[in-house]
Amino acid sequence: MSREITRVGIVGLGTMGAGIAEVFARSGYDVVGLDANEAALDRGRGHVEGSTGRAVTRGKLTEDERAEIMGRIRFTTDYADLADRDLVVEAVPESLELKREIFEQLDKVVRPDAILASNTSSLSVTEIAVATARPAQVVGMHFFNPAPVLKFVEIVRTVVSSPEVVENVQAVAERLGKMPVVVGDKAGFIANALLFGYLNHAASMFETKYATREDIDAAMKLGCGLPMGPLALLDLIGLDTAYEILDTMYKQGRDRLHAPAPVLKQMVTAGMRGRKSGRGFYTYEAPNSPVVVDDALTPPPVDGADVHLRPVSLVGVVGSGTMATGIVEVFAKAGFDVRYVARSEDKVTRVRNALERSLDKAVARGKLDAADRDAALARVSGTTHLDDMADRDLVVEAVVEDLAVKTVLFEALDEICKTGAIIATTTSSLAVVDLAAATKYPADVVGLHFFNPAPVMRLVEVVSTVATADDVIATAVDVCRRLGKHPVTCSDRAGFIVNALLFPYLNDAVKMLEANYASADDIDTAMKTGCGYPMGPFELLDVVGLDVSLAIQRTLYLEFREPGFAPAPRLEHLVTAGYVGRKAGRGFRGHDS
């Protein structure tokens, strides 16, 4: 049975606690905010005043509404002022000992029927609850930062939480205008369990110098549409906070993917805690400033300044699928002379027709004028003869993702292409070095992983093997920039940057589903509303294709031999049963998952 909750207490008025207090006050609740001393209260009051002041400036609140919100919050250092509260939410730092001490104190002060909630993002709510004489009335209420903005709230029930209490807290979250999801008491709950494995992997990628921090962050923003790159996000969260969350998750689950990357502990020990300290993976203008400044960790750009670039004006594209057609369009619009090879005259015509349709749409949408369209088309020619690649400066392979097929093609191109020509593969999962080894000039082979649709997506992963020449890498980067793309460089390793970070996250979501911890809808909601992702993992899996996802995950597992990368059994079973996603009309959204 639902009970009326009107009086709320917040313990801890840091950024998160002050934000939670503001959220309740905005929704009409009578709020008491408590912190350890007057200085902390002043900081908490300042957080609320600053946040509501910005809302007034942006026209989201009037001055009268702001005054009403501030008037609903009373600030105190005395626990006795929480005695009449219906609900108290604890929002102090992630320390189990500290939280248990606070709950013991609350248990002595608040009414016997009051509900106690913890905003913990990773600690066991059960271990916090047993510090009280009322564990049935203790739940987790995990808000996301910034609390006044993000809609998602995880309501964490323990094995002893009263169903009525869970229902009441869920109703409160809905009254706040939030989207609550009820989950069990498991390390990381939904969002952090998926998010921090991905963030930790990104930190490890940086630590091993596989790619620069700028390229890792740009790859995930441009390749996946994420609001922030993983390393910038770690800085925002706080590297100390991230380390504690990962350490807690690892201790509870013993999953090696959650064992904190050593670089995190080293940086925290050195005082590099992220934005809050003014330095983390990036260096900031001042503590708590979002403005990044140059520092010694910023590498010189790969721009060919110290390397002689190979001339590239004549480009060949081998393939007739969607990706190949998109790449032809990208090069033609950028002013390159493009010749593509298809297996039959019918496919040559189909590529031409698809190219014309795409350019016509760009004109209709105001993205291109008619003269530029005609000029782009005039630069394109099609052929069925691979020998017509003989005069090309750069040949881009964009055929089916099959090693045997690509190997035969590279052997042929090796015989046909002129001396000094660059041969590039668009593979997203195969080893570039395997294709380079099929040629007599492996130094001339590079990966150019475009993202679909190529005319729209700005990211290109430039992938070098151990044999790729420096001038080839620099030329590839320069060509990408001439195309208007954002190149990121990495070495030849399964998944490159984007897929190596993306697909283990998707695989972890499937494992969470098959453990019956949460539904596909709730997991998608958590990642979209809690983390700002454009799509939830199951929506994305259906779009990418479960079969494609399984193939990439298997490749990652075989390359890294990391047990946590083993494909989720449910993913394998669904693919075997023909549930491969949107292209087949059924995937995670096409059955009872």
Angle between helices 213-224 and 191-207 (to 10 degrees): 140
The b/e string for 378-413 (b: 16+ C-beta within 10 A; e otherwise) is ebbebeeebebbeebbbbbbbbeeeeeebbebbebb
Q: From CA 149, how far away is CA 447, in angstroms rounded?
A: 41
Pick the catalytic residue from 47, 142, 201, 449: 142
154 is catalytic: yes
Other Cβ atoms closer than 10 A to 36: 12
Strands of the 152-157 sheet, one edge to the other:
73-76, 30-34, 7-11, 87-90, 115-118, 138-143, 152-157, 179-184
What are the DSSP calls for 283-304, one per residue? EESSTT---EE--TTSPPP-SS
Report CA-CA distances (Å) from 517 to 125, 380, 510, 514: 16, 53, 10, 8
Angle between helices 322-333 and 345-364 (to 10 degrees): 60
Alpha carbons within 13 angstroms on the beta-carbon side of residue 478 total 18
Distance of CA 438 to the CA centre of its chain: 35
Q: From CA 297, how far away is CA 57, in angstroms rounded?
A: 37
Q: What is the CA radius of gyration of the chain?
A: 28
Residue tagged 């395997």 (tokens)? 434
H-assigned helices in 81-190:
96-109, 125-129, 163-175
Pick the catalytic residue from 51, 119, 121, 124: 121
Of 249, 280, 287, nearest to 263 (Cα)?
Answer: 280
Residue tagged 């990208």 (tokens)? 330
192 is catalytic: yes
Pick the catalytic residue from 192, 277, 429, 464: 192
Contact 152, 525 (CB under 8 A): yes
591 is catalytic: no
449 is catalytic: no
Q: From CA 66, how far away is CA 55, in angstroms rounded?
A: 9
Q: From CA 412, how far away is CA 163, in angstroms rounded?
A: 68
Other Cβ atoms closer than 10 A to 29: 20
Pick the catalytic residue from 90, 154, 244, 329: 154
Q: From CA 327, how far away is CA 476, in angstroms rounded?
A: 14
Residue tagged 């509404």 (tokens)? 65
Q: From CA 420, how far away is CA 393, in angstroms rounded?
A: 8
Which residues have a catalytic role annotated?
121, 142, 154, 192
